[in-house]
Amino acid sequence: MYFEQFYLGCLAHASYMLASEGEAVVVDPQRDVEIYLQAAQANRVRIRHIFETHLHADFISGHRELASRSGAQIYIGAEAGATFPHIAVRDGFELQVGRMRITALETPGHTPESVCLVITDEEKSPAPWAALTGDTLFLGDVGRPDLSKRHTAAQLAGMLYDSLHNKILRLADSVLVYPAHGAGSLCGRNMREERVSTIGTERLTNYALQIQSREEFAKQLTCNLPARPEYFVQDAEINRTGAAALADLPELPPVEPAELESLLAEGGIVLDVRPGEQFAAGHVAGTVNIALSGQFASWAGALLGLKSRPVLIAESQEALSEARMRLARVGLEDPRGYLKGGIEAWSVAGLPLATLAQISVEDLSRRVQSGACNVLDVRREPEWESGHIADAAWWPLDNFKVAPPEIDRTVTLAVHCKGGYRSMIACSLLQRAGFQNVVNVVGGFDAWREAKLPVVTEKPVVA
């Protein structure tokens, strides 16, 4: 049996290809499906089957395009209400692929239609070898239960408890666990960095599986959930019908500097995808910086929304193409265009560049002690509660979609996150909102800790 995991770091998303005797199965495909077609060709197999473990909310699946290009059949949980051609999967559904057997378990909880796939490699053993658990069971966590329009979070959490204890945990301890997401995904809140585990390891170490009662499980899973981006609901609906092929998306038109200046004056959104250092050194005033180096697409979807039509600023044509692809992966498909000639063309046109000051944690410490600046922490609540800078205000970056923090604009505001990626985004949003005295803290809270500067753990002071 052939088995491969494809991990997309920017979305913390894992998809899979399995094959036996020339016949292949793809599970939870990403939007750009060429990677699976190339793998199938390299391994001399034909993609015949595509499984979706659920209607993904954090990314757009490529199931429809992959089915069109390969001739494969799509399988998805019967409760999904999918409108594309598919086979509706119920509990106990089995598919024989060569010497490999796939058995579906209906595991509602993360979503009503969630299924897990138990894989048996009959060449080696008649016992199950692995479980592809989708967003039902992660490594160190379980799926969030608040993504349904038809059920409350408490109802889904109860279903999830039943699915885990009545189905997943009845598998042998030796069965491998391959989830659809890893650390960094908003589909859970406590995932580990590893890419594979076992039922036995999760039984012993996963906090959610230690909770004994259904009521307590529901209580803990619905408490302090991370913010749910608005685009999650939209992505799930797109996946219910199936997204268009990437090749069908329109070309990005070039935008001249003068036109960009007019768009900004009218309140248009301009997204600068260059590295933070380049943005800080010189950028178009009023633009939002979300660098390609991190979880670019997730933050773009969460902070800008799928209906936004940003003009993109990139350092190269390759970076521009990469940005377009990543935006499409979360459903942001219709950017207005790109700045022709990039930031250099803006300068050549005689238009002004704004800058963003940056300071070290040592400099920040001196300024805080002298009262020369305020501190804004934009990390998420669990990060804040594990330790933060004394007297800092707290306003997680997720909240910027609603509004910037209510904070004194006349005093220098030093913004930090864990390592510097999110704080740069926050600084650009603050500048766009009219904050003039904003500085970015290089290295973020990680650098603060490494410098052995003081940390406190009181409850947050919300900005």
Reported as a single tens digit per residue, the pLDDT across 326-360 is: 999 999 999 999 999 999 999 999 999 999 999 99
Local confidence band at 140 (pLDDT 50, 70, 90 cut-offs): very high
**Angle, vertex CA 198, rays to CA 195 and CA 203, nearest 5:** 120
Q: Which pLDDT value is given to residue 294?
A: 86
Q: Which pLDDT value is given to residue 463?
A: 66
Domain coordinates of the chain in residue numbers?
2-241, 249-348, 357-450
Pick the CATH number of 357-450 from 3.40.50.80, 3.40.120.10, 3.40.50.300, 3.40.250.10: 3.40.250.10
The yes-or-no verdict on residue 116 having pLDDT over 70 is yes
**What secondary structure letter does DSSP report for 341?**
T
129-158 mean pLDDT: 96
CA–CA gap between residue 36 and residue 4 (Å, rounded): 10
Local confidence band at 184 (pLDDT 50, 70, 90 cut-offs): confident
Question: Dihedral angle at the C-alpha atoms of 296, 379, 282, 285, nearest 10 degrees?
Answer: 90
Local confidence band at 228 (pLDDT 50, 70, 90 cut-offs): confident
Report the topology of domain 2-241: Metallo-beta-lactamase; Chain A (3.60.15)
The yes-or-no verdict on residue 458 having pLDDT over 80 is no
Q: What does pLDDT average to over the chain?
A: 95
Local confidence band at 186 (pLDDT 50, 70, 90 cut-offs): confident
Q: Which pLDDT value is given to residue 258?
A: 97
The better pLDDT of the pair 243, 410 is held by: 243
Q: Is 249-348 the same fold as 2-241?
A: no
Please choose, from the candidates 95, 37, 16, the residue with its C-alpha nearest in 3D space to the C-alpha of residue 246: 37
255 strand-pairing partners: 339
Retrieve residue 288's tokens: 């939002």
Local confidence band at 149 (pLDDT 50, 70, 90 cut-offs): confident
Reported as a single tens digit per residue, the pLDDT across 355-406 is: 999 999 999 999 999 999 999 999 998 899 999 999 999 999 999 998 889 9
The yes-or-no verdict on residue 460 having pLDDT over 60 is no
The better pLDDT of the pair 192, 459 is held by: 192
- In percent, the amount of the chain with pLDDT more than 70 equals 99
52-66 mean pLDDT: 98
The pTM score is 0.93
Go through the chain and tell me how many residues it has.
Answer: 463
CA–CA gap between residue 160 and residue 135 (Å, rounded): 11
223-227 mean pLDDT: 82
Report the topology of domain 249-348: Oxidized Rhodanese; domain 1 (3.40.250)
206-218 mean pLDDT: 96
- Written in H, E and C, the secondary structure of 30-44 is CCCCHHHHHHHHHCC
Please choose, from the candidates 268, 271, 269, 298, the residue with its C-alpha nearest in 3D space to the C-alpha of residue 283: 271
Please choose, from the candidates 62, 233, 222, the residue with its C-alpha nearest in 3D space to the C-alpha of residue 143: 222
Local confidence band at 224 (pLDDT 50, 70, 90 cut-offs): confident
Q: Which pLDDT value is given to residue 61?
A: 98
3-state secondary structure of 117: strand
- In percent, the amount of the chain with pLDDT more than 90 equals 91
